[in-house]
Structure formats: structure tokens, C-alpha cells
Amino acid sequence: MIITVTLNAAIDKSLSVPNFRLGRRHRSVEQTTLAGGKGVNIARALKTLGQPVIATGLEGGSTGTRIVEQLTAESILNDFVRIGEESRTNTAVHDPTDGGQTEINERGPAVTDQEIELFREKLLYLARGAAVVVMAGSLPHGVAPDLYSDLVRDLHRLDVTTVIDAEGEPLRQAVRAEPHVISPNVLEAEELVGHEFNDDDDRVAAMREMALLGAGEAIMTTPDGCLASMRVDGEGSGSGGPVNARTLFRVEIEPREIVAAVGAGDAFLAGFVAARYAGSGAEDCLRFGVACGAESTQRLGAGLIDPARVERLVAEVEVTRVQAPVEVP
Ligand SMILES: Nc1ncnc2c1ncn2[C@@H]1O[C@H](COP(=O)(O)OP(=O)(O)OP(=O)(O)O)[C@@H](O)[C@H]1O
Ligand SMILES: [Mg+2]
């Protein structure tokens, strides 16, 4: 079983509005309303890919009820902790004429210590039957930034694989707890390592910096694929190669015209985790993740992918080894 964690679950409204201008009145030509938040989007894509998944997290108020109803209607198994305050609604406006994208995210509920404690108990209970836990997205107000790092440590005691897609302080602290996988985009990675990337050498160097900070494997997504620092079987300890080694891969796909970019990273991560759960090797997991990310850009609504189209895209993804395995002290 794979568990996804969404502490800031939401109802996500996506509107397609041609010639969107600030300060004007518009009519949308297309709209979708889905349960969202990164973990929920990842659960949706994992379910579509046929992997066993339970979405957990926090939900509250009538919006929270709607999140759970939506998930249940999509046959996505879910087990959320109900909180006192109302879950948020997020709105994304996509302009098909210029590809522009405007997002308005509500502030979201404040969460009490007691609610977090209930959640921790639920997660550790669910995790007993899980191989992988994916924690994705921002933390609600009032939640200490070390929550992900605490949960990573708890989960490692249960021998569960941990995957983190977060940013800022929660990511920085989570990395110290040595999660198995992190998947920042370029901006999030710059923030994590503490400097901007001016060229490819900087990006390549950052992959090692993330490993030194504590990331077991780090994947930095880019609009044309990703860079990934991976542990590869047979290339680490016990195989005569360097102990605790990482192999750096570059994964590329021809960028396509986007319908909606929201959730491309979530689809990427779902694809990567699905392939990993199915037992694929590093290169195939990355290839499949990038194909899922690319496919998701062709649809309005985060976490929506068509598996048949993903399969066709897989053949277009190029994977190269940038470096031989390098020891990480
Ligand atoms: N224009 C594009 N064409 C093809 N694939 C794309 C494009 N943009 C993104 N992708 C795919 O989606 C993946 C994730 O992209 P990106 O780095 O933009 O994610 P992100 O910023 O984390 O998105 P989000 O957090 O909103 O889900 C990339 O690895 C890439 O494979
Ligand atoms: Mg992302």
C-alpha cells in the first residue's frame, strides 16, 4: 500500500478563461472542480495508474466534507482526520490564448496541536500496512515546521519508505531526517541548498549538495524532465563500488505546449512512486515519472493522466547518466 499525506487538502477549481485580464469580468469556457492538495493529486494519479493507495490528511467544514465525497466518488480510498476549521478552496485560472496561469490559494485553516496528534496516530496506524508514505504540500497554519521531519523519523522506525515534496522550512527540516526521496522543482531546490543556479554545473552540483544535506535520493524536476541523484542497486556498498554512492541521471522530454501546468510535479511523483512500487529500476522510474508529468500538462485538473498516453510518451523520454556513482560521506 502507498499512503499519501495532505495536511492542507482543498477543493481545487480550475477555470479556462481566454484573454484573461486583471480587473475585467470574464466567463470561463471550461471548468473542473476536484479534491486537491498535492498528496490528493498524487493519490488520484496513483489510483489511475492502478496502484493501491490511501489518501490521508486533515479536512474540515463543508469544504472538507466535499473533499471526502469527491475522493469517495472517484473511488480513491481515504481516511482523513476531521478538524474544527474549514478546509480551503483554491482557484487556478488558465488562459488558453497565451498559456498564462494565475493561482489564488486561500489561507486555509489553522490546526490545533491535538488535531496534529490525532493525525500522527492515524498515519502511524495506516503506515503499519504500507510500504511507502508520500508527504506533499504545505503545512497548515499553527503547525510547527518540523512536523514532516518528525513523521519521517517515526516512519523510518516502521521501516516505511518516505517521500517528501515540500518547500521552504518544512523541506529543509525534513531533509535532516534523511527521507528516502525528495522531489523539489528548481526554485524549491535553490531555496533548499541556499543559492541560485546560474548554469548546468550549478544544477549538477546542487544534486550532490542535496544528498549531503540528508536526501537519500533527490529528484529536481525541470520543465524538460529532471535531474536525479539515485541509489542504484549494484552500484553501492557490497558491490565493490563506493559505499553510500549516488548515480546522477539527466532525464529529458521535448517540452510541449501546456494546457495547465498545475500538478505536473504531482503527476511526476505519482509516476515515479508507482514505478518504484512495482519494482522498476531507477532509470525506468524516472522515465515513467517524466512521461506522467508531461501527460498531465495536457489536462485541466491536477493529478489527471491518461495511462495509455503515458505509455506512448515513455518512448520519447531520454535518460542519460551524467556521472558514474559518487560517494556521499
Ligand atoms: N511543458 C512541459 N512539457 C512536458 N513536460 C513538462 C512540461 N512542464 C512540466 N513537465 C513535466 O512535469 C514534471 C514536473 O514539472 P515542474 O518542475 O514544472 O513541477 P512543479 O513545479 O513541481 O509542479 P507542481 O508542484 O505544480 O505540481 C517535469 O519533470 C516534466 O517532466
Ligand atoms: Mg511541485
What is the residue-level pLDDT of the chain in tens, covering all 329 positions?
Answer: 999 999 999 999 989 999 999 999 999 999 989 999 999 999 999 999 999 999 999 999 999 999 999 999 999 999 999 999 999 999 999 998 988 889 999 999 999 999 999 999 999 999 999 999 999 999 998 899 999 999 999 999 999 999 999 999 999 999 999 999 999 999 999 999 999 999 999 999 999 999 999 999 999 999 899 999 999 876 654 455 555 789 999 999 999 988 878 899 999 999 999 999 999 999 999 999 999 999 999 988 889 999 999 999 999 999 999 976 777 77
How remote is the CA of residue 258 from the centroid of ligand 1, in Å?
10
Nearest residue by C-alpha to atom 23 in ligand 1: 265
Class of residue 129 by CB neighbours under 10 A (exposed 0-12, middle 13-18, buried 19+): exposed
Is-contact 42 304, C-beta < 8 A? no
How remote is the CA of residue 237 from the centroid of ligand 2, in Å?
31
Mutate to test the pocket of ligand 1, among 41, 221, 313 (most ligand atoms within 8 A of CB): 221
Ligand having the closest approach to the CA of 262: 1
Q: Is 303 in the pocket of ligand 1 (CB under 6 A)?
A: no
Helix axes 264-277, 282-296, angle to 10 degrees: 150
Is-contact 67 11, C-beta < 8 A? yes
The 8 Å CB, 24+ separation contacts for 97-104 are 97/18, 97/19, 99/257, 99/258, 100/20, 101/260, 101/261, 101/262, 102/20, 103/262
Is-contact 47 266, C-beta < 8 A? no
- CA of 293, closest atom in ligand 1: 12
Task: Tell me whether strands 2-6 and 77-83 are parallel, antiparallel or unpaired.
Answer: unpaired
Cβ density class 143-174: b for 16+ within 10 Å, e for less:
beebbbbebbbbbeeeebbbbbbbbeebbbbb
What range does the domain containing 254 cover? 2-327
Q: Is 268 in the pocket of ligand 1 (CB under 6 A)?
A: yes
How remote is the CA of residue 268 from the centroid of ligand 2, in Å?
9
Distance of CA 193 to the CA centre of its chain: 19
> Is the whole-model pTM more than 0.85?
yes
Task: Name the helix (H) or strand (E) containing 14.
Answer: strand 10-16
Euclidean distance between CA atoms 177 and 326, whole angstroms: 21
Mutate to test the pocket of ligand 1, among 220, 251, 254, 297 (most ligand atoms within 8 A of CB): 297
Q: Is 310 in the pocket of ligand 1 (CB under 6 A)?
A: no
AA letter at 316? E
- CA of 262, closest atom in ligand 1: 26
Q: What is the CATH number of the domain that holds 115?
A: 3.40.1190.20
Contacts of 104 (CB under 8 A, 6+ apart): 90, 91, 92, 93
How remote is the CA of residue 238 from the centroid of ligand 1, in Å?
36
Q: Is 290 in the pocket of ligand 1 (CB under 6 A)?
A: yes
Nearest to 47 by CA among 66, 73, 69: 73
Mutate to test the pocket of ligand 1, among 163, 185, 259 (most ligand atoms within 8 A of CB): 185
Q: How many domains does the chain fold into?
A: 1
Q: Is 293 in the pocket of ligand 1 (CB under 6 A)?
A: yes
